[in-house]
Amino acid sequence: MAAFLEVAGLHASYGPTRVLHGIDFAMDEGTITTLLGANGAGKTTTLRALCGMVKMQGEVKFAGERIDGKATEDVVRRGIAHVPDGRGTFVYLSTEENLRLGAYTRKDRDAVEADLERVYGYFPRLKERREQQAGTLSGGEQQMLAVSRALMLRPRLMLLDEPSFGLAPLIVQELFQILRAVNEREKVSMLVVEQNAAMALELADHAYLIETGRVVLSGTAAEIRSNDAVRRSYLGY
Amino acid sequence: MDAFLHQVLAGLATGGIYASLALALVMIYQATHLVNFAQGEMAMFATYFAWSLINAGMPYWPAFLLTVVFAFVLGVVIERVIIRPVENAPVLAIVVVFIALLVILNSVTGWIFTYTIKVFPSPFPAEPIFGRYITSHGGGAIGVTMVVLLLLYLFFRFTPLGLAMRAAAQNPDSARLVGIRVGWMLALGWGLAAAIGGVAGMMVAPIVFLDPNMMGGVLLYAFAAALVGGIDNPAGAVFGGFLVGVLENVLGAFVIGNELKLAVALVLIIGVLVVKPSGIFGKVLVTRV
């Protein structure tokens, strides 16, 4: 059986600077996979390349269909929701408008209303702030908003770029619990990029370690966690 | 006092026209951070289109609607064909394109219709119907402006497409990530701006008469209006439009004389840029990190 998401020989560069030197990885439907690596390893670029935000070479297959070279809008329409680095909040719009935009490509109006209540169920704080200008939300709330906005697409695959970045440990835990719940209840597959390797390995089923634009190690989360080199360099004990 | 009231109301009538054009400027500014210098000439061109229709025997209001559609299509086509290719060019290059567009539209119109000044009809009767302080056309122009503003407000505030256009203007990257076709939203924005401009052109033409240079002064006032209100704030631009209209009229009538009216706009532009560059209602956002 072909993998749900299959990436082969992914190259990308910013101008003359090459960032990805042939990344290969694959993930199955319904699983959570994490890409680990230090700053500048190419994790964010990998996610951006998957949804057509940076120029890339290589092959990306999603649910049996080639999506490399497709415009971002068209990748999104295939059910891939990206929670970007920096959260991508529409700061001048209200919380609820941000959420409605997440469902922009959907035609099932009634289901969208139901989904709005569903994400408010996950993040009650957002419901309290539904009329508030999104730029005035706290960092944690904006991260919740970014995740919720992605959920409003009813995605098949979520790409999460550093969901823990800049958040207090308690909020990170809350967020990761919700991500786990979403994955289990709604069978949303997730590809998570994280610097917080310990948290990511706790969440994920599989992990890939990226160093300077290449995959150097892969395995189940448990295998990666017990790898000595990873433990020393990324888990720090 | 009567004369004063008369000037204020007349100012509101032209102010509504400045407000419309200022709004068109702001719409494009919000999406691209550029001021479309050709906005006035696009409006002028659309007004000539309306004039041709009316001259060919079409009743006023059907010609009006057809012109709005024509202006919309013109705006979309200009964005797709002329602006799109220079989208990522340096600002000065785009400014040159805008100015070229202004000159081309101006001379093409002159070439087709000649530079002879033409009379453009008003849809409103000649005898005063809104009382003795304001002409029928003035009152009607205020009404038309209000309808346009209301429709725009409803569109941007309550429709998914309006929301998508606001999102695309604010944060194109995030907009793409929710599946919005940002390029088309820009084209749509140009279309809407051109359509608003077309209405402004048709409303001002009975006052200033139809000629290829008729929008020069109007664009300057609209630019002043947009700056006074805050170039990134649609409501501010509308307020600015009415304010500039009234100021221009009242100062022109009682203080500086009609010959120096246009200077009011220039003084306002320079004054705002020096004293409060963000305008009266310029966006002040409090962001938490």
Q: DSSP assignment of B136-192, as one string?
A: HHHHHHHHHHHHHHHHHHHHHHH-HHHHHHHHHHH-HHHHHHTT--HHHHHHHHHHH
Nearest beta carbon to residue A101 from set B167, B173, B182: B167
B-chain residues near A102 (CB < 8 A): 178
- For chain A, the distance separating the N- and C-terminal CA atoms, rounded to the nearest angstrom, is 38
* Single pTM value for the model: 0.87
Residue A108 in tokens: 């099932």
* Rounded Cα distance, B49 and B134, in Å: 28
pLDDT in tens, A213-237: 889 889 999 898 888 878 877 777 7
- CA triple B36-B37-B38, angle to 5 deg: 90
One digit per residue, the tens of pLDDT, for chain B of length 289 reads 788 888 898 889 889 999 999 999 999 998 888 889 999 999 999 999 999 999 999 999 999 999 999 999 999 999 999 999 998 889 899 999 999 999 999 999 999 999 999 999 999 888 877 777 788 898 899 999 999 999 999 999 999 999 999 999 989 999 999 999 999 999 999 999 999 999 999 999 998 899 999 998 899 999 999 998 888 888 889 999 999 999 998 888 888 877 777 888 888 888 888 888 777 777 655 555 4
User: Which amino acid is located at A215 in the chain?
Assistant: V
A221-to-A46, A101, A218, B99, B243 alpha-carbon distances in Å? 20, 34, 9, 60, 65
* Rounded Cα distance, A189 and A231, in Å: 26
Size of interface A-B (CB pairs under 8 A): 79
Residue B185 · residue B159 · CB < 8 Å: no
Say which residue the tokens 């989360």 belong to: A221
User: Across the interface, do B173 and A53 touch by the CB < 8 Å criterion?
Assistant: yes
pLDDT in tens, A79-130: 999 999 888 999 999 999 999 999 999 989 899 999 999 999 999 999 999 9
pLDDT at B286: 54
* Rounded Cα distance, B254 and B1, in Å: 12
Closest alpha carbon within chain A to B173: A88
Q: SS3 string of chain A? A: CCCCEEEEEEEEEECCEEEEEEEEEEECCCCEEEEECCCCCCHHHHHHHHCCCCCEEEEEEECCEECCCCCHHHHHHCCEEEECCCCCCCCCCEHHHHHHHHCCCCCCHHHHHHHHHHHHHHCHHHHHCCCCEHHHCCHHHHHHHHHHHHHCCCCCEEEEECCCCCCCHHHHHHHHHHHHHHHHHHCCEEEEEECCHHHHHHHCCEEEEEECCEEEEEEEHHHHHHCHHHHHHHHCC
Closest alpha carbon within chain B to A102: B178
* Rounded Cα distance, A161 and A140, in Å: 14
* Rounded Cα distance, A35 and A7, in Å: 13
Nearest beta carbon to residue A97 from set B163, B171, B283: B163
pLDDT in tens, B26-40: 999 988 888 899 999
Over chain B, what is the mean pLDDT? 89
pLDDT at A29: 93
B-chain residues near A132 (CB < 8 A): none
Give the rounded distance of the alpha carbon of A121 from its chain centre.
Answer: 21
B-chain residues near A82 (CB < 8 A): 177
pLDDT in tens, A164-219: 888 888 889 999 999 999 999 999 999 999 888 888 999 999 999 998 888 988 99
Show which residues on chain B lie within 8 Å of chain A, measured between beta carbons.
160, 163-164, 166-167, 170-171, 173-182, 283, 285-289
Residue B17 in tokens: 């026209």
